[in-house]
A = this chain, B = another copy of it.
Amino acid sequence: MATQASRMMHLNLFLFGCGHHRAAWRHPNSSIERMGDIGYYEKLAQTAERGKLDAVFFADGHSVGDINENSLWYLEPITTLSAMSRATEKIGLITTISSTFYTPFHAARLLASLDHISKGRVGWNLVTSMFDAEARNHGYESMPAHADRYRRAEEFADVMIKLWDSWRDDAIKCDRQGQYADPGKVSPIDHNGEFFLVDGPLNVPRSTQGNPVLFQAGASDQGIALAAKCAEAIYAVAYDLPAAQDYYRKVNAAVKVAGRRPAPIMPGLVTYVAATEEEALAKQRELDELLPVASSLKQLGTFIEQDCTHWDLDAPVPALPSLEEFNGPKGRYGTILRIIETENPTLRQLLGRLAAGGGHCTMVGTPEHIADKMAHWFHHEGADGFNLMPPSLPNGIEDFVDQVIPILQQRGLFRTEYKGATLRDHLGLKRPDF
């Protein structure tokens, strides 16, 4: 990490449909008709680049969401980022890659090619995927066990890097009277592991960054172990500062044990920004009120395992059993208890909180207020930056770039200009020369 004096935040824009609020697409001004229009995504990337953000980021999945619950579709990230790379010049471009479904040769080649095309701006978020519905689109009867997926992910990351390193940086000579490339500098990898047989070399030479930047977001013990072993940057889920600090310290301790330098940790962050707190709250309320109440109550009912369809929407949420007393899945339930405990929301507000970013942190208020809170996390072992999850797009990122970024810049917490040209440059990561 840089010294405290010069330490700067890292900010990514997490792109998702019409925004991260589940009802954002219902807003009259939403871009819901443009989910397949590349111009929509190019403009978002340009806005993020205007704000000097480190990168834009796409999550990914391999099955349709629940059509009955109005899950939106989205373009495939790699093809989308390739087009977006030509509408921007500096901003990083991060896709999600499932090690459970891709062969490492395909993935290494697609990302290396994209790193050439974008002149060194590619990152990849290594995930193991979760759902049987995804597995059954790629030839599995059901999703492999968690432990098997993580062993595969670790081998996958290893093979990816071996493939990227199968051409030395100076392998290509372009000697018109002699050789195009030096055969001594292009080598097979001869990998034969538990999951993968890959001879190599890759059929793409080493790219601008050497290797695209490896992101990870594991929260389980195995996820944290994988992140400690190989992640160069980390996404996190933390509803509030204590949760963020807990994760931050746990990961950095694991990284230290692994003998590696700390990787920037970026929790997800939902923001509602406006000139006054009242206006910011009104923006939040406007989206929350677009939620179809019946299906939201039904969903909450499954999370808390009781019928809440008759509860008063504008009264505080009734007392719920403690985490110890609750017998269902505890992750989301714990977040719900935390929200009730810290915010005492009405039922309608609780539905909104769950609808925008799920368990991620939400900050609502003036640009100064949000900059203060972000700085507080940044200076108190909560975050090295944030993965911005605007509740609605494009306005959510425009608000942030126009109103919050200038304050962070004035305070010396965020860059006023890109210093380098690659994603590694933006993240302060050294190029792995080879």
How often does this chain occur in the complex, in copies?
Answer: 2
Chain B residues with Cβ below 8 Å from A202 are 64
Q: How large is the interface on A (under 10, 10 to 19, 20 to 34, 35 or more residues)?
A: 35 or more
Which one of B141, B180, B182 contacts A72 once the chains associate, using CB atoms below 8 Å?
B180
* A68 with B117: CB separation less than 8 A: no
CA distance A311 to B207 in the complex (A): 43
Flag whether A179 is at the interface (Cβ < 8 A): yes
Chain B residues with Cβ below 8 Å from A409 are none
Flag whether A259 is at the interface (Cβ < 8 A): no
Residue on B nearest A185 in the bound complex, by CB: B67
Known contacts A33-B174, A136-B199, A197-B141; is A183 also within 8 Å of B117 by CB?
no
CA distance A176 to B289 in the complex (A): 13
State the majority secondary structure of interface residues on A: loop
Residue on B nearest A85 in the bound complex, by CB: B83
Flag whether A258 is at the interface (Cβ < 8 A): no
* A203 with B62: CB separation less than 8 A: yes
Of the candidates A61, A87, A136, the one having the most CB atoms from chain B within 10 angstroms of its own CB is: A136
Flag whether A78 is at the interface (Cβ < 8 A): yes
Flag whether A103 is at the interface (Cβ < 8 A): yes
**Chain A, 182-221, contact with B by CB distance < 8 Å: what is the 0/1 string?**
1100100000000011111111110100000000000000
CA distance A72 to B181 in the complex (A): 8
**Chain A, 281-311, contact with B by CB distance < 8 Å: what is the 0/1 string?**
0000000000000000000000000000000
Chain B residues with Cβ below 8 Å from A38 are 86, 116-117
CA distance A75 to B85 in the complex (A): 15
CA distance A113 to B36 in the complex (A): 8
List chain A positions with a Cβ less than 8 A from chain B: 25-28, 30, 32-33, 36-38, 42, 61-65, 67-68, 70-73, 75-76, 78-80, 82-83, 85-87, 101-103, 105-106, 109-110, 112-114, 116-117, 133, 136-141, 174, 176-177, 179-183, 186, 196-205, 207
